[in-house]
Amino acid sequence: MRIVIIGGGIAAVYLANHIKKLSPDTEVLMVSEEAFSPYDRIHLCALVDDSATIQDISLTVDPGVQVALNEKIISIDKKSKRIFSEHSAFTYDKLIIATGSVPQTLFDITTLKNAAVFRNANDCKKISEGIDDREVVIVGSGPIGLELMETLNKMPSVRHITLLVRSDSLYDKMLSAQSKKVMETCYFKNGKITISYEDEIVEKQINNDEITLLKTKKREIKNPFLIFGVGIKPNIDFARDAIACDRGILTNCKMQTEDKDIYAVGEAAQVKDIDFIAGHVKECTLQADVAIANILGLEEKEFRLEVMIDMLKINDFDLIEVRSPYYSQNFEKILITSDKDHRIDEYFVEHDKLTRFIGVNTNVDIGYIESIMKESQNIDPSYLYQNRLIGERGRLICSCEHVYNQDIVDTVVTYGVENLLEYGKFSQAGRVCGKCKKMVADVIKGSQHLIDPNMPKKSAEDIEREKEIALAKKRIEKYNRLHPQNQLDSTQLSSSLAAFDITTKEVNSWISMVTATMQLHPEYEGVIKDGIDNLNRLPIIWLELADCSGNSEAFIKSSHPGIADLIFDYISLDYHELLMSASGDQSESVLENIIKEQKGVYVLIVEGAIPMAMEGKYLRIGPKGETGLELLQKCAKDAALIISVGSCALDGGVVAAAPNPTGAVGVSEALGRDDIINLPGCPVNPINIVGTLLSYLMFEELPALDKFNRPLWAYEGRIHDNCERRGHYELGEFVQEWGDQGAQKGWCLFEMGCKGPYTHANCPTMKFNQGTSWPIQAGHGCMGCVEMGFFDKYATERKIDEEKTDEVEK
């Protein structure tokens, strides 16, 4: 597949690099209208004052990405899948438009020698070469204009600057008078700046392509150099004849335009459903992630608004803004100020919820502010005051990664970090949007004198090893605090082992396997052994809803008792309709008793989908005729942990297959909760349940999870990467028909519809039936049963591309 990206900015580079990272074999071409290789526009000020070159602010592009420069695209031919510049044509399979925006002006300045905008490297050159012996006039007081003004203020060649502001405030009209005063004080310090509020250009005189005089409502300015910073608009004129546009290129929440093979992201895109155009780097990268996931078929992903953080860093003050997607102007403001420290914290509150924060020279933990907005917590004004001096970590340096000055210093001192490149082993600060890159480098440079000269230099591998061991020891200490009785004798375990005729060697082998599979340090083996001894302390309710009982049967239908069966003798599996001896009213009494007596302690395991149509009446259970939904809600209310097992419990699975007449959904959707732990599979491997329970039991915490709340230790690896038939895939040896020569020789099943390249699970390493086999080993391709919507999307004997083609034809 060939993906062409139009654009050469941060969003375009992010797209190209991440596509190559996720799909190295995909051909990626970036087409940029600029003459320079992609660079970081956030640091354009460094080009104005010559503190950096274009190479210094260049962006790193994956060496596998092709870059075409000086190619301004003028049209798109959707039918032939080609884009055209004035002298070239480029073909694509998928096209991503990431052309960003263009600056606006109040009148045409194309031919004027002493007027400019501030958007690219050429603009910087024009400004740098044209400001000598002129009165610099900046129109607009947004973040870009204010940063440029700060840069020009420090340049000896600039004698005076006039900032024209149509309103009566700086940065934002909602900014308080106190914040405005602090900012003005900093700008007025050396007397080179005049700020003219409620003012604008009303007349101009031009001779020989030069502005000789500017008249505003309040003043006359001779021999000016005019710089516009009045706003931007999407750079999409070339696309208007080919695809639907409004202010920007119209997309759905998957960042897909009306043409299924054309996507748009960033400032060029207008998400139609929410009428949104991105204005921050973070929003652009979020949209890029959505487009990549959908183009590569990794998952169906949609863009959603998130809390955004913006920063304005001037030498004498910092301004930090945190804004919720739900911010409106129907707010009340809480102001906490300190004249002594020149600190102002402005809290914008709507219905007791914090929707915006602006801090000037603030010490408040921005990560805390962000969490309040994300979780939509009610705020307590007194608490805000009491915590106004949070922030002993010093100045916030990187808003993307929430990294503070002291965090960087501590890393430098602890590990002897000498430069930004080495620091990249520990943090992405300075590398996400790039805005704080220089500040991070400056802190590292300024901390070198704190490094112990006798400290041995450690490799990245040494550092990672130390981190791993330290984490292991910390968690073992936590386990010992939680389980002071963990030095139990293993009499009970040993007697059961004897009954099952399983040797100590087999148990130790299984413990080592679980330790390795859960990606724990080897020191955990002893802890896992103790954890097994204690498993009978965990009460469990296992519900079966709309399903085939396959996940339950996976535990009980094996030719020889295995360690997974043994483990389930050691948990208190108090309620399971299929396995428990009690029935009828007696079983219901058991269930009610657990819910009442073990409130907040028991674990709820749910197998099967939940029918939602007809108020859930497609599934009724027990003597009271409860619907599956009612039973689930009752059991989930006071559960300490909820685990969904099997594909049906993930998202409805087979039960929810089109046309889904019962309205079946997964556990998370039925409960309206996002904290459900998902262990999908058809059926799930028992090892995955046991490992997750072990982690919870031993540490009262869950293993690391992916975006679908699946444990990474079980669902991170790709089937394709660990498949024993992978070698045949690389050699191009495929089964073409069931029973053919390739099938007899164990060749790759990709051409027969194997979904291994799209599926993430530990089936090849764990296998089933005590490690006997798994579907591909047995001769059938993977059906992707651990992925969302697998039955409708993957459960065929056709390749993905063929399936999509069939859908289009229909």
DSSP string, 729-784: HHTT-B--STTSHHHHTT-B-GGGT--GGG-B-SHHHH-BTTTTB-HHHHT-----
**What is the model's pLDDT at position 665?**
95
Angle at 577 between CA 575 and CA 578, to 5 degrees: 120
Check if the beta carbon of residue 512 is closer than 8 Å to that of residue 608. Answer: no
**What is the model's pLDDT at position 460?**
66
Check if the beta carbon of residue 184 is closer than 8 Å to that of residue 201. Answer: no
pLDDT of residue 501 exceeding 50, the answer is no
Cα 717 to Cα 725: distance, rounded to the nearest angstrom: 16
How many CA atoms lie within 13 Å of 349's alpha carbon, on the beta-carbon side?
16
Cα 69 to Cα 67: distance, rounded to the nearest angstrom: 6
Considering only 138-147, 276-285, 376-385, which range has the smallest mean pLDDT?
A: 376-385
pLDDT of residue 326 exceeding 50, the answer is yes
Written as six digits, the tokens of 29 are 């071409």
Cα 182 to Cα 344: distance, rounded to the nearest angstrom: 9
Cα 85 to Cα 99: distance, rounded to the nearest angstrom: 14
Regarding pTM above 0.75, the answer is no
Cα 750 to Cα 734: distance, rounded to the nearest angstrom: 7
Cα–Cα distances (Å) from 770 to 72, 145, 513, 554, 586, in that order, read: 60, 66, 12, 11, 34
**Strand order through the sheet with 262-264:** 66-68, 27-31, 2-6, 94-97, 262-264
Check if the beta carbon of residue 75 is closer than 8 Å to that of residue 83. Answer: yes
Cα 378 to Cα 233: distance, rounded to the nearest angstrom: 36
Nearest to 95 by CA among 234, 268, 233: 268
End-to-end CA distance of the chain: 23
Quick one: pLDDT band at residue 563, thresholds 50, 70, 90? very low
Quick one: pLDDT band at residue 422, thresholds 50, 70, 90? confident
Q: How far is CA 606 from the centre of its chain?
A: 28
Cα–Cα distances (Å) from 500 to 75, 287, 496, 556, 564, in that order, read: 73, 54, 6, 14, 12
Tell the burial category of 110 from Cβ atoms under 10 Å away from its Cβ (0-12, 13-18, 19+).
exposed
pLDDT of residue 405 exceeding 90, the answer is no
pLDDT of residue 234 exceeding 80, the answer is yes
**What is the model's pLDDT at position 499?**
39
pLDDT of residue 473 exceeding 70, the answer is no
**What is the model's pLDDT at position 806?**
41
Cα 664 to Cα 613: distance, rounded to the nearest angstrom: 7
Check if the beta carbon of residue 214 is closer than 8 Å to that of residue 220. Answer: yes
**What is the model's pLDDT at position 530?**
57
Instruction: Report H helices in 218-353.
Output: 281-295
Higher pLDDT, 536 or 376: 376
**What is the model's pLDDT at position 436?**
78
Cα 558 to Cα 565: distance, rounded to the nearest angstrom: 9
Check if the beta carbon of residue 760 is closer than 8 Å to that of residue 787. Answer: yes
Q: What is the mean pLDDT of the chain?
A: 84
Mean pLDDT across 354-359? 94
Mean pLDDT across 554-562? 49
Mean pLDDT across 602-618? 92
pLDDT of residue 695 exceeding 60, the answer is yes
pLDDT of residue 10 exceeding 80, the answer is yes
Check if the beta carbon of residue 31 is closer than 8 Å to that of residue 71. Answer: yes
**What does residue 74 show for φ and ψ, rounded to 5 degrees?**
-115, -15
Tell the burial category of 580 from Cβ atoms under 10 Å away from its Cβ (0-12, 13-18, 19+).
middle
Strands 620-621 and 603-607 turn out to be unpaired
Torsion of CA 395, 399, 404, 408, to 10 degrees: -130
Mean pLDDT across 387-411? 78
**What is the model's pLDDT at position 562?**
47
**What is the model's pLDDT at position 370?**
87
pLDDT tens, residue by residue, 40-69 = 888 899 999 999 999 988 998 999 999 999
**What is the model's pLDDT at position 35?**
93
Quick one: pLDDT band at residue 486, thresholds 50, 70, 90? very low
Quick one: pLDDT band at residue 643, thresholds 50, 70, 90? very high
Mean pLDDT across 773-780? 92
Q: What's the alpha-carbon Rg for the chain, to the nearest Å?
A: 31
Mean pLDDT across 781-788? 93
How many CA atoms lie within 13 Å of 80's alpha carbon, on the beta-carbon side?
9
pLDDT of residue 400 exceeding 60, the answer is yes
Mean pLDDT across 505-512? 51
**What is the model's pLDDT at position 446?**
92
pLDDT of residue 535 exceeding 70, the answer is no
**What is the model's pLDDT at position 540?**
81
Tell the burial category of 572 from Cβ atoms under 10 Å away from its Cβ (0-12, 13-18, 19+).
middle
Mean pLDDT across 797-801? 75
Quick one: pLDDT band at residue 559, thresholds 50, 70, 90? very low
Mean pLDDT across 268-296? 93
Check if the beta carbon of residue 115 is closer than 8 Å to that of residue 109. Answer: yes
pLDDT of residue 690 exceeding 80, the answer is no
Quick one: pLDDT band at residue 2, thresholds 50, 70, 90? very high
pLDDT of residue 704 exceeding 90, the answer is no
- DSSP class of 256: B
3-state secondary structure 462-522: HHHHHHHHHHHHHHHHHHHHHCCCCCCCCHHHHHHHHHHCCCHHHHHHHHHHHHHHCCCCH
Quick one: pLDDT band at residue 124, thresholds 50, 70, 90? very high
Nearest to 160 by CA among 206, 213, 225: 225
Give the rounded percent of residues in the chain with a pLDDT score beyond 90: 52
Helix (H) or strand (E) holding 137: strand 135-139
Written as six digits, the tokens of 809 are 């034809």
pLDDT of residue 807 exceeding 50, the answer is no
Buried b (16+ CB within 10 A) or exposed e, 623-658: eeebbbbbbbbebbeebebbbbbbbbbbbbbbbbee
Cα 587 to Cα 583: distance, rounded to the nearest angstrom: 5
**What is the model's pLDDT at position 494?**
46
Mean pLDDT across 446-473? 77
Upstream peptide bond of 703 is cis (omega within 30 degrees of 0): no
pLDDT of residue 525 exceeding 70, the answer is no
Mean pLDDT across 374-393? 76
Nearest to 28 by CA among 8, 1, 59: 1
pLDDT tens, residue by residue, 292-303 = 999 998 888 999
